[in-house]
Amino acid sequence: LPLSFAQTRLWFLEQMGGLGSTYHIPTSMRLRGELDRDALVRALDRIVARHEALRTTFAQVDGTPTQQIAPADVGFHLVEHDLRGRADAEAELRRVMSEEARAPFSLERGPLIRGRLIRMAEADHVLLVTMHHIVSDGWSMGVLTQELGALYGAFRRGAPDPLPALAIQYADFAAWQRRWVEGEVLREQADYWTRTLGGAPELLALPTDHPRPARVDHAGAMLRVELDEELTGGLKALGRRHGTTLYMTLLAGWAAVLGRLSGQDDVVIGSPTAGRGRREIEGLIGFFVNTLAVRVDLADGPTVAELLGRVKERTLGAQHHQDIPFEQVVERVAPTRSLSHGPLFQVMFAWQEMTRDGGLALPGLEMGRVGAAPAEVQAKFDLSLNLRQAGDRIVGTLTYATSLFERETVERWLGYLRRMLEQMAADEGRRVERLALLSGDERSRVLDEWNRTEAAYPGESCIHQLFEAQVERTPEATALVFEGELLTYAELNGRANRLAHHLRSLGVGPDVRVGICVERSLEMMVGLLAVLKAGGAYVPLDPSYPLDRLHYMLADSAPAVVLTQARLRDRVEHAGVPVLELDADAPAWAHRPAANRERDALTPDHLAYVIYTSGSTGRPKGVEVAHRGVVNRLAWMPAFHGLDAREVVLQKTPYSFDVSVWELFWPLAAGARLVIARPDGHRDPAYLSEVIRRERVTAVHFVPSLLGVFLEHPECAAGAALRRVVTSGEALTPELVARVGQRLPGVELHNLYGPTEAAVDVTAWKCATDGSETRVPIGRPVANTRIYLLDPAGEPVPVGVAGELHVGGVQVARGYGRRPGLTAERFTADPFGGAPGARLYRTGDLARWRPDGTIEYLGRMDHQVKVRGLRIELGEIEARLREHAAVRECVVLARQDAPGQTRLVAYVVGGETAGAEVLRAHLGQTLPEHMVPAAYVRLEALPLTPNGKLDRKA
């Protein structure tokens, strides 16, 4: 006889192997009192005789699985154990239960229902009954217990079988189902599911505690769920007002929680349906269950009432089209298949109606349950929420995959579900995204406890004043070293002061900008200090940038004067801005005083620098940073890194990037020695190894990609004085951390994170280089800085959940020069900080809290990326690429086709007359080298999602 669709699905899954006891349906009953063993055995035998499904085995005939039904007198397979008088009876019971739950079934040989009767004492028995899912389902268990109660009672009294004959058997249903789901029914239902699930996310990206295994691991654990009478009553009342069943209302709440945890507004949840739409099959034991994939739309901020309406519509539609088997739905939708997770959905919600299972009652016996051991729990999905109504309460279980989640995490999530349902019942007019998930304690932890960073710092000082104080302490100590040239603290201070007095005479003062376009040299440091001493703010103009970009930055920043070197003058002569050559023009200010200027109106809240970053509109944007934030950052460093005046710091980061700020100014504020790398040396591992060794450098910064290149050099470990490496700008991988431990033994590795808009770095982490790091966090907030991880509604996200990283505290920049709209968008009022006027910077980065309060960086929210540590707005590249006459449409992506090697790739529609070299040359006219894509792919058209949006993944 043919199999039903559901049986076919399980048969094929079993043939794949490795499922073990995943598809066992066990039940256990404690029977206290005088048990009539013969009546019990007769009752069990009679149930097997009544239901052909329980006498069925499955074999291949010509390669096709078929049902084979044994004769009615085959009987119930019962094994008996006698534990009376044993001191270890309870322990042995657990062993027997575990053995029974793990024992495999043979689909071909059978039997597929079996039991064990364990005598604990004269009036104390335990009955275990185990069925394979291929011949039964949850409803079937209710049928079995009802019939067992009726038959046992009759046979105990000596009465005949009281049950009416069954009108049909399971095999009749299987044959009917295959005829029914053909032709028009199949086409109409298949069209519904293809339409409904088309474009749905193929994975619910829940924040897991452990990486997802390459192959599904069915090991699981279970938590009890209970919603009290008050909440249950509130949910019922909510459903009555909106015409939703408890199932629909609970599904809506579950979907809302899953959406918040995953950060997705499109959630697909599996839901079993009894599959017993005809009266004739209500009393049959068999596998009728089908699975529905219910897609819940959380987009556009629905209210509770609107979400209930959406869930009701989708649920009714799914139930109306439930006849087509789930496996055929999968075939029609054709998602990308993976052994690591199920297709279409990975989370299940099951609502158990009380229509069949009223519980087992055997006359003369007191009934009880024997719980399964935790090790016996099987997880068919990532999460499975099973609920039912028990009196005035809702109870059930939440099963989770232990390969993905820790118990504490899932317990927290149950708390979120309870709070979500409570708020839904209390206010159906609120937007779901505004309903709070966190308890008061957890909210306080992520907002306050992990942001207790208050620390003393020289808040009344400016950057150059820290240097001037150090000059007073160690005037004759070496301050700068560059290619064999040396300057003491007093010499550097005197040179900078003379230039500062000259700049002051040219109108430089508080908040006045001074452009500086120089190569790394002693003049660079003199110029930077002089600008600050004059009260101005320096604007770094990297001489390697294209002329168009330099001219735009000059026009946008409107400097009062530009400092440069004679060989670079032609790159910055633009729009009549005065230009001073730091080398050739030095005699013009040689007569100026070498003493520090008197302190005037300059305060720590005036500008220190304006650094330009990539802009999404195609225009770079200037980030305005005041002294106060930088001073705080420099004051924090010694305590965290253990730095002191004995340090030798290598300065190699281009000064157009914010990492250079601490490289340049911390050593000079602390009495350390600053070694400046030659202009072309920052990417040359051989040169860097040599200068680190020669100058006995103790501290150096690398972006992770360059650090990897440096570690490949055979002489990288030759600098015995090197004590610490600082890295930032890109995600740091565990593999690279371990390589540092191998190649640079004894050297500390510090992972820092920070946007230009928040004075260099705002979090820090000291890495363990012994290979124990599996995920490298970005650490905790630095002094006087606060970090908030918020969802799109501005609510703090729970531990482990991705949120946009917001920075608060003294290091937040002023904003973007001449860009008030963008400043207002990215710099917002701080609703958590408490201080008047406090602001947050929205970084656009995704991160999550670890349970210990450290932070993991997860990537960019938008299409802004970092390549080799340099932040790039892909939109700016796209804007420039579209300016080429041959390009109609384009997309630029950052790809990592080889581990740790990120490169930019441009996808172009049109451009038949322009090859890769032509497009590369076109971009090179306006973009710096690091923003020019490495590869170009021509497409006939850009791929789109079903709703017409660009499909970047495709």
How do residues 7-32 score in pLDDT, each as one tens digit?
A: 887 777 676 554 555 677 788 889 99
Mean pLDDT is lowest, of 161-175, 235-249, 449-463, for 161-175
Arithmetic mean of pLDDT, 810-815: 98
Residue 822, C-beta contacts closer than 8 angstroms, at least 6 positions apart: 621, 815, 816
Write down the pTM of the prediction: 0.82
Mean pLDDT is lowest, of 64-73, 155-164, 259-268, 324-333, for 324-333
Arithmetic mean of pLDDT, 641-657: 94
- Name the DSSP letter for residue 378: B
The pLDDT assigned to 924 comes to 87
Residue 402 has pLDDT above 80, yes or no: yes
The pLDDT assigned to 356 comes to 46
- Name the DSSP letter for residue 944: B
> What's the chain's average pLDDT?
91
- Whether omega for the bond prior to residue 111 falls within 30 degrees of 0, making it cis, is yes
Strand, helix or coil at 275?
coil
What distances in angstroms separate CA 220 from CA 24, 403, 410, 800, one per listed residue? 14, 8, 12, 20
Residue 237 has pLDDT above 70, yes or no: yes
Q: How far apart are the first and last CA of the chain?
A: 45
Burial (CB count <10 Å: 0-12, 13-18, 19+), residue 372: middle
The pLDDT assigned to 952 comes to 77
Burial (CB count <10 Å: 0-12, 13-18, 19+), residue 839: buried
- How far is 711 from 58, CA to CA, in rounded Å? 60
The pLDDT assigned to 941 comes to 86
The pLDDT assigned to 374 comes to 46
The pLDDT assigned to 901 comes to 76
The pLDDT assigned to 180 comes to 76
Nearest in space to 791 (alpha carbons), one of 442, 436, 449: 436
What distances in angstroms separate CA 689 from CA 623, 711, 748, one per listed residue? 33, 10, 17
Confidence category of residue 357, pLDDT binned at 50, 70, 90: very low
Arithmetic mean of pLDDT, 620-628: 97
**Residue labelled with tokens 């168009």:** 548
Strand, helix or coil at 489?
helix
